Amino acid sequence: MLFGIFFAFWRFMEIITLIPTLGMLSYFVHIYSTNNALTPNYILVLFIVSVLGAVWAVATLFTYHRARSNALFVSFVDLCFVGAFIAGVYELRGITGWNCSSVASSDTPFFSISFGSNTFDLSGFHVRTDKTCAMLKASFAFGIMNCIFFFFTSFLAFWVGRGHSHDKKDSYVRETHYSRHGHRRSGSHRSHHSSHSGRRHAYV
C-alpha cells in the first residue's frame, strides 16, 4: 500500500512537469512546421520523449491496480524512459551556455512592462529577457527532473513486482502442498476402506 502511494505521487509529479514541457516544446515545433522547416534534434528528441512519457504516466497511473500484475514490465519501461530523457537532455545541453536575461541601468524611474519586447523597467534598471532561451532552459530543467522521477517510479514498480511474484510463488507452493496432502489423505482413506472390506469378506 505504501509503495502504491509513493508510486502515484511520483507519477503525478511526472505528469505535472511533462505538461508544461509539452506546451513549450510544441510551441517551437509549431513555428518550424508553419515555416516549412525541419525541427532541430535538440527540440524534437525531448518533445517526442515528453509526449510518450506523459501518455505512459497517465496510462499507468489510472490503471495501477491492473498494472500491479506486470509491475516488472512497468519498471523496465520506466527505466527505458530514464535513458530516453537523458538522451533528450543531452541533445539540449547547449542551452546551459545561453544567457536568457540581461540587466542594465535605465533612466525610467517607474515600473513598466512591455509584453511584446519582453522588457521590464524597475526602479532605474532595465531588464531584458529572451523568451526562447527561457522556455528551452525550463524544458531542459524539466527533462532532468523527469530523469530522476522515472528512476524513482522504476525502482518502486520493481519492488512491487518483486513482492507480487513472491506472493504468487508462495500461493502456488501452498496450493500444491494442500493438493498433494489431500490426495494422500484420500488415497490412504481408500486403501483403508478396501482393506477393511477385504477383512470383512474374509471373515464371512
Lowest mean per-residue pLDDT among 85-99, 132-146, 184-198: 184-198
**pLDDT tens by residue, 28-42:** 999 999 999 999 999
First and final C-alpha spacing in the chain: 67
Asked if residue 188 is part of any domain, the answer here is no
Between 100 and 204, the more confident residue is 100
Residue 103: pLDDT above 90?
no
CA 195 to chain centre: 66
Between 127 and 175, the more confident residue is 127
Q: Which of 41, 49, 43, 48 is nearest to 132 (CA)?
A: 43
Q: Residue 62's pLDDT is what? A: 86
Asked if residue 28 is part of any domain, the answer here is yes
Lowest mean per-residue pLDDT among 92-96, 142-146, 192-196: 192-196
Asked if residue 193 is part of any domain, the answer here is no
**pLDDT tens by residue, 137-152:** 999 999 999 999 999 9
Residues in CB range of 3: below 8 A, 6 or more apart? 156, 159, 160, 163
- CA distances (Å), 175 to each of 3, 55, 67, 180, in order? 27, 39, 24, 9
In SS3 terms, the chain reads as: CHHHHHHHHHHHHHHHHHHHHHHHHHHHHHHHHHCCCCCCHHHHHHHHHHHHHHHHHHHHHHCHHHHHHHHHHHHHHHHHHHHHHHHHHHHCHHHHHCCCEEEEECCCCCCEEECCCCEEEECCEEEEECHHHHHHHHHHHHHHHHHHHHHHHHHHHHHHHHHHHHHHHHHHHHHHHHHHHHHHHHHHHHHHHHHHHHHHHHHC
Q: How many domains does the chain have?
A: 1
Lowest mean per-residue pLDDT among 33-37, 40-44, 55-59, 162-166: 162-166
**The model's pTM:** 0.70
What grid cell was written down for 201?
Answer: 469378506
Asked if residue 182 is part of any domain, the answer here is no
- Whole-angstrom distance, CA of residue 81 vs CA of residue 188: 58
**Any bridge partners for residue 112, and if so which?**
121
Asked if residue 129 is part of any domain, the answer here is yes
Asked if residue 181 is part of any domain, the answer here is no
Asked if residue 106 is part of any domain, the answer here is yes
Asked if residue 174 is part of any domain, the answer here is no
Instruction: Identify the domain containing residue 140 by its residue range.
Output: 2-169
> Given CA atoms 146, 51, 155, 85 in this order, what sign does their dihedral have?
negative
